[in-house]
Amino acid sequence: MRKLRFLLTAFLVLALSLTASAHPGKLDKNGGHFNKETGEYHYHKGPNALESLELRRNTVYKAKIERVVDGDTAIVSFLFDDGSKYLKERVRFLGVDTPETVHPNKPVQYYGKEASNFTKKSLEGKTVWLQTDVGVKDRYDRMLAYVWLKEPTERDLDDEAVIRKHMFNARLLLDGYAQLMTIQPNSRYANIFVHLQREARQEKKGLWGKDPE
């Protein structure tokens, strides 16, 4: 009996050591962390871990917009194919920066309310597809994503005409609700976004229309 207990204890210790070496790093408040070897964020506990979800680079996830925080930030719930929901995430839209409306240390900026209202009207309660780039989270623990209004195909991901029509980040730039903001290494659509912002400025759309009074 003692020999059996010893063998079981040795097995558990070995299993724990292998797990620790395969997934180095402490867990954050969501029960996940960045893998030091791959740079990917993944979960070890909580609802996400139960379903084996990992936030991977250059991947598209189906989600529902639960609440819009401001023009470029929202709270989402990821969706399974059967429509069930699980752990919510705060998502910061990649490549764009809308005027502030909820910053604790800044006043509401020019065209901020218009941008926030546009995002609420366009996204709240809607099903979207979130595409990650190289970095999947920022220093504030927000997921970073391009927001698609319809599920993109592999071909859509590189088609500027489709991006203009169905990627919400692009719509924010085209309609003058946001300015370009590229933070490396997330620059997959930087060149396209430069053209979209230039187009909005030339046509004096949104925040490019006139100076604030």
Active site residue 100: yes
Q: Which of 89, 92, 114, 188 is catalytic?
A: 92
User: What are the Cα distances from residue 109, in Å, to 39, 106, 122, 206, 210?
Assistant: 35, 8, 21, 13, 14
Judged on CB neighbours under 10 Å (0-12, 13-18, 19+), 99 is buried
What DSSP character marks residue 186?
B
Active site residue 92: yes
Q: Which of 56, 67, 142, 201 is catalytic?
A: 142
- The closest of 57, 59, 5 to 35, measured between CA atoms, is 57
Task: Give DSSP secondary structure letters for 95-129.
Answer: TEEPPPSS-TTSPPPTTHHHHHHHHHHHHTT-EEE
Separation CA 63–CA 49 (nearest Å): 17
Side-by-side strand order, sheet with 41-43: 32-34, 41-43, 54-55
Q: Which of 100, 114, 171, 188 is catalytic?
A: 100
Separation CA 89–CA 145 (nearest Å): 11
Active site residue 114: no
Relative to beta strand 179-180, strand 143-148 is unpaired
Residue 78 · residue 91 · CB < 8 Å: no
Residue 143 · residue 42 · CB < 8 Å: no
> Which residues are catalytic, by number?
92, 100, 142
